[in-house]
Every structure is written in C-alpha cells, then in structure tokens.
Chains A and B, each alone.
Chain A
Amino acid sequence: MKRAYYIFYKDFSSELRMRFALNALIMFVIVAVSTILFSLANEKVNQNVYAGMFWVVVFFSAMSGLSRTFVSEEERGTTLILSLIANPISIFIGKFLFNLVLLFFINTIIAFLYMILFQDFSIQNWDSFLLAFILGNIGIAGSSTIIAAIISKANVKGTLYPVLAFPVLLPLILMLIEITKSAMEGNPISDVEAELMVLISYDIIMITASVLVFDIIWRD
C-alpha cells in the first residue's frame, strides 16, 4: 500500500513539474467544449442532449489523458525499473489513484464549464448527480488504467486506446447519461436506484478483475 502511494506521488510530482501534458489536456477540454458550444449555440435543443454531450466530452478527454500513465513509462524505458521496485498490485493501485485524481480534476473543469456556458445544463438534483459523478469517475479510471496497460505494449497507442476502451466503458456511460438526465429533470434519487447499483457493481467488478489480470500484462 505504501509502495502504491509512492508510485502515485512520483507520477503526481513529475506531472506537476512538467506541466505540458496537463496543460494540453486542459486545452483539449476547452476545445472540445467550445466545439459543442459553436454547434449548439443558437439551437434550441432538448435538455437531454446536454446530458449525453457532457459524458461524451468526459469520455474523450479521459481517452486523451489517461493512457499516459503507462505509455510514458514505456516511452522513457522505465518499465523495468518500476517492476524492480514494486510488486504489480501496488503499481496498478498507484497508477489507478493517479488516474483517478487526474480524472476528478479534469471532469470538475468540464462540469464547471458546462454549468457556466450552457444555461440548459442545470442540475436540479445534486445528490444523484454527485453520486453518479464520483462512481462514474472511479469506474472510468479503473477500466482506462487496465486498458492503458494493455495499450502501452502495442504499436499504435493513441488511436487504439478509445477503440479498446469504448465497448468496455459503454455500460457505464449509458447509465451515467440516464442518471444525469434524471438529475437534470429533478427526479428524486430513488428513481435512479437501479442505475446507481449498476455503477457500484461495475466499479467493483472492473477494479477487482483489473487487479487480478494486471500481473499477467506486466510480467513480460
């Protein structure tokens, strides 16, 4: 556990030291949101569209940002050293925590941008939205970390990542869109109980399975 924290801390501080990746990611978010802003600017669209659009931006910024954890190790050639100092489970947990923090940071920016830029994106029921936001981030971080580990061994890393991650993340994203719609309409949290259960079970299944199979990916 302590090792996991060290790996998290290493990634975190190296990311803070060379901020170019983070800056690029923030710019990516701004570009993505403004594309949607331009395309929907003078249109009167159904409120539900924004719920979908929000998670689309979240998905693609996760896809452009989260693969770095393993890909950068592979590019800098530090994979071997990393496997010398820590066991696979703590590496996975450290990387997962880093991705989780990054995802929370990016998604808070996206949510904030959506709230100030789109009048129609107004959450009526904060309880269910926040629960979905937290559980969703955990799920996205879990699945994308394990897919990033697979992808770091492949030849074409960037394009393959969303292709592999999309079918795995889809049940999660569909549920998140449903909950966000319901939160925007101001329905009580009991309406989305089943969807929240699905999120919790998805998170547990994905993280457990990832910890189990990560060992096989990591040992070359």
Chain B
Amino acid sequence: MRAFWKYLLLILMTLVILGGLIPPIVAYPKNFFEFPLIPGLEDKARIIFFHVPTAWLTVLAYLIAMFYGIRYLKKKNIYDDMKSVSAAALGLVFCILATVTGSVWAKFTWGSFWHWDPRETSIFILLLIYGAYFALRSALDSEEKRARLSAIYSIIAFLTTPFFIFIMPRLMIGLHPGSLEIDPATGQIRASANPVIKFQMAANMRVVFFLSLTAFTILYFWFWNLTHRILKLEYNSQKEI
C-alpha cells in the first residue's frame, strides 16, 4: 500500500512538472496541450501550479496541527502532540515557500516584492502565527505543558483566520484573483475588471492545477508521516535510556 502511494506520487509529480512547464502559451489555443494567453501574465502564469499548492498546504498543515492539538487536549496522548508539532513544522516550511514563490511572482507581474494585498497580509499573519507557535513551544520546558499550551494557542490564533480569509478581502483592495478595485470613473469599489484579477483557468490548465494540488497533498502527508514517526522513535529511545 505504501509503495502504491509512492509510485502514484512519482507519476503525478512528473506529470505536474512536465504539464506545468512544457505546454506552450499561445494567444488562441488550438490543440489540447496549448495554454491560453492571459494578458499581463504570459509565461509567468505557470508558477500558479507551484504557488497555490504551497499556500493550500500551509493552511492544511495548520488545520491538522490544530486538530491534533485538540485531540491531545481531549485524550492527553503525547503522540498526538508529536503529530501536531510535525504538521506545524512542515506548515512553516510550506508557508515560507508560498511567501517566496508569491513574492517572486509579484515582483515580475506587479512590479515589487510586496504589496500588502489582503492575501499577502494573510500569508504574512500565518507566518507570524507559526513563528509565535514555535517560540512559545521553545519557552515551555515541561512536555505536558508545552503540548497543552501550544494546542490552546493554535486554537486562539485560528479564530483570527476567518477575518483574514473571508472578511478583509471584501473590505480591502487587492491584486489576487477575485479581488476588489477602485473604479477609476466613479471612485467606487467594485469587482475588478483587470484581466489578471478576473482570470479564470482554462480547462486544460485546471487539470494540471488539480493534479498538482493532489500531488503536493500526497507529498505533504508522506513528509508528515515520516517526521512524526521520527519524533516518536526519538521519544521512545530517550525513554529507554
């Protein structure tokens, strides 16, 4: 069964890398392997296959960390805390990756590395939350206290995310797809008409995109499985000594 997932991941990742990088981007796609041109994005559109999955995994990792945190609070099983912390550690890695790929993309499409667009703000907050989570963990020495308080902190910090994900993008002006902009004619805030912001993926791009999401999610679970098993082994071997 394990070998099955590994081979599946190998195939999917190969498909995603080839499918993301090889197909030419043309103005009027005729063949199924050609991506349509998006004005203002051109070849830079390809990074979407790698940027969005990292951002998605950042959020998924946080949810898993919180889920196992709550489970720890209920059952007081230290292995749940290990699962929680290894999920968060990987989440931090993907959070950094999402920030870096995003700001590289921003540099070449919007002109500078950082814009304080609502989505950029929210990934920044997530980065801060992850940072604070690990800072808190390192400041607590007893194992039980560390597990308990970091689980509680992850719950409290999670409560702010609806504000960033659902509310602020509707109150602020942004650059990501689905954002608002100021209508130059009337000065009112409206749904954006900019081709980059309005952009919808073509069907063939969407296939690669969802393959990429699946592949990255499997990759994440594999990493996570390895890291929390390593933590468990370390813990057990220390107990034996």
B121 to chain A, nearest CB (A): 8
- Residues of B within 8 Å of A146, CB to CB, are 156
A217 & B152 in contact (Cβ 8 Å cutoff): yes
B140 & A155 in contact (Cβ 8 Å cutoff): yes
Q: Does A166 contact B (CB under 8 A)?
A: yes
Chain A 61-79 residues near chain B, CB threshold 8 A:
none
Q: Does A205 contact B (CB under 8 A)?
A: yes
A163 & B131 in contact (Cβ 8 Å cutoff): yes
For the A-B complex, the count of residue pairs with Cβ-Cβ distances under 8 Å equals 74
- B interface size (C-beta, 8 A): 26
Complex CA gap A180/B164 in Å reads: 20
- A interface size (C-beta, 8 A): 30
> Given A150-B136, A171-B168, A209-B155, is A216 in contact with B160 using a C-beta cutoff of 8 Å?
no
Complex CA gap A171/B73 in Å reads: 27
Q: Does A168 contact B (CB under 8 A)?
A: yes
Question: Which residue of chain A has its CB nearest to the CB of B133?
Answer: A164
Q: Give the one of A160, A164, A166, A217 with max B CB within 10 A.
A: A164
- Residues of B within 8 Å of A216, CB to CB, are 73, 148, 152
Q: Does B234 contact A (CB under 8 A)?
A: no
- Residues of B within 8 Å of A210, CB to CB, are 156
- Residues of A within 8 Å of B139, CB to CB, are 154-156, 160
B167 & A168 in contact (Cβ 8 Å cutoff): no
Q: Chain A contact residues: over half helix, strand or loop, or mixed? A: helix
- Residues of A within 8 Å of B141, CB to CB, are 155
Complex CA gap A171/B156 in Å reads: 13
Chain B 123-179 residues near chain A, CB threshold 8 A:
125, 128-129, 131-132, 135-136, 139-141, 145, 148-149, 152-153, 155-157, 159-160, 163-164, 167-168, 171
A198 & B167 in contact (Cβ 8 Å cutoff): yes
Chain B 191-233 residues near chain A, CB threshold 8 A:
none
Question: Which residue of chain B has its CB nearest to the CB of A164?
Answer: B132
- Residues of A within 8 Å of B152, CB to CB, are 150, 213, 216-217
B150 to chain A, nearest CB (A): 9
Complex CA gap A150/B129 in Å reads: 15
Complex CA gap A143/B172 in Å reads: 24
State the B residues within 8 Å of A (CB): 73, 125, 128-129, 131-132, 135-136, 139-141, 145, 148-149, 152-153, 155-157, 159-160, 163-164, 167-168, 171
A-B contact pairs, 29 of them (CB 8 A): A147-B156, A150-B149, A150-B156, A153-B140, A153-B145, A154-B140, A155-B140, A163-B131, A164-B135, A166-B132, A167-B125, A167-B128, A167-B129, A168-B157, A168-B159, A168-B160, A170-B125, A170-B160, A171-B164, A174-B168, A198-B171, A202-B163, A206-B159, A209-B155, A213-B152, A213-B155, A216-B148, A216-B152, A220-B145
